[in-house]
Amino acid sequence: MTARPGPTTRTRIRELSGATARDRRDDLATEEPLEIRLTSPDGARRTVAITMRTPGHDFELAAGFLHGEGLAGPKEIAAIAYCTDEDLPPEARYNTVTVRLHGPIPDLPALDRHFLTSSACGVCGSASLDALRDRCVPIPKGLLELTPGLLYGLPDTLRQAQGVFGKTGGLHAAGLFSATGMLVALREDVGRHNAVDKLVGWAGLTERLPLAEHVLMVSGRASYEIMQKALAAGIAVVCAVSAPSSLAVELAREFGMTLVGFLRGERCNVYAGQERILG
């Protein structure tokens, strides 16, 4: 029986400290590929993505990815399971997820691209903001009003809840917070975009979308793909420990999102949607 990979992998290392060396065990963040396949009632099958990820919450990752790319929403998914196709070697079974749709596989331009990504770069899924305008609407105003003090507390809460990061020091995190600053859900992954997909997938599979009255906090930078996924989930406020990219700021401003960067200690920069921050 093939063992299911976990979020951490044990290894042996040599630790150097000054003139002293010692051998010991260490925990690494596991990084393995995940192939996402779509199937339809007529028997059609298609691979739509291969992403490097940390094993765990794989079904949420698949559902979140499909939702963020506009390929399939939660209501269009009939079932998600690890693949047992005969063409798949046993060692790849837990690295391949099949998403069975209620209807046909969508014939979208996005499917003509090669969705092969590392844990670092992410999958954009839309060539430009023009593509987003066709399937996303601006975030309504007035749903959230946040104090600076609430924002300042988010990074510590996120960090304290990162169980796997505490063991490995090598994972990104995405946390979903309520309007009062309560942590609702958290997901970790070697890829920051995967962590967001897992979070959005969780929300979709538990019928919580859209997330208009929630705040997304990410442990890294705010990139275009992070903002795209947040917009597709209806998230009004995105906060990041590090800097945003220029396209992330442009997306936030056009679609009425609040984007906060460099959120560390009691300081931050608000790049868009300042009206949701009181004071």
Within-domain flag for 244: yes
Give the number of C-alpha atoms closer than 13 A to the C-alpha of residue 79, restricted to the C-beta side: 6
> Any known ligand binding at 25?
no
Beta strands 32-39 and 96-101 are parallel
The CA distance from 196 to 189, in Å, is 9
Within-domain flag for 16: no
Q: Residue 67 in contact with residue 204, Cβ under 8 Å?
A: yes
Q: Which one-letter amino acid corresponds to residue 198? A: K
Concerning whether 83 is annotated as a catalytic residue, the answer is no
Q: Residue 197 in contact with residue 65, Cβ under 8 Å?
A: yes
Within-domain flag for 120: no
> Any known ligand binding at 267?
yes
Task: Output the tens digit of pLDDT for each of the chain's 279 residues.
Answer: 567 888 888 899 889 999 999 999 988 889 999 999 999 999 999 999 999 999 999 999 999 999 999 999 999 999 999 987 777 787 788 999 999 999 999 876 555 444 555 444 444 444 568 878 888 889 998 779 999 999 999 999 999 998 766 666 668 999 999 999 999 999 999 998 999 999 999 999 999 999 999 999 999 899 999 999 999 999 999 999 999 999 999 999 999 999 999 999 999 999 999 999 997
> Any known ligand binding at 255?
no
- CATH, residue 188: 3.40.140.10
Question: SS3 for 217?
Answer: strand
Q: Give me the domain span that covers residue 268.
A: 148-276
Within-domain flag for 199: yes
Question: SS3 for 162?
Answer: coil
Within-domain flag for 184: yes
Within-domain flag for 152: yes
> Any known ligand binding at 10?
no
What pLDDT score was predicted for residue 145?
93
Within-domain flag for 169: yes
Catalytic residue among 83, 121, 124, 268: 121
Prior bond of 210 cis (ω within 30°): yes
CA-closest candidate to residue 171, choices 161, 156, 181 = 161
> Any known ligand binding at 263?
yes
**Structural domains counted in the chain:** 1
Within-domain flag for 104: no
What pLDDT score was predicted for residue 121?
45
Q: Which one-letter amino acid corresponds to residue 59? A: F
What helix, strand, coil percent values describe the chain, rounded to 5?
30, 30, 40
CA distance to 14, 232, 243, 250, per residue, from 183 (Å): 37, 21, 22, 28
Name the residue with tokens 């305008």: 133
The CA distance from 156 to 64, in Å, is 25
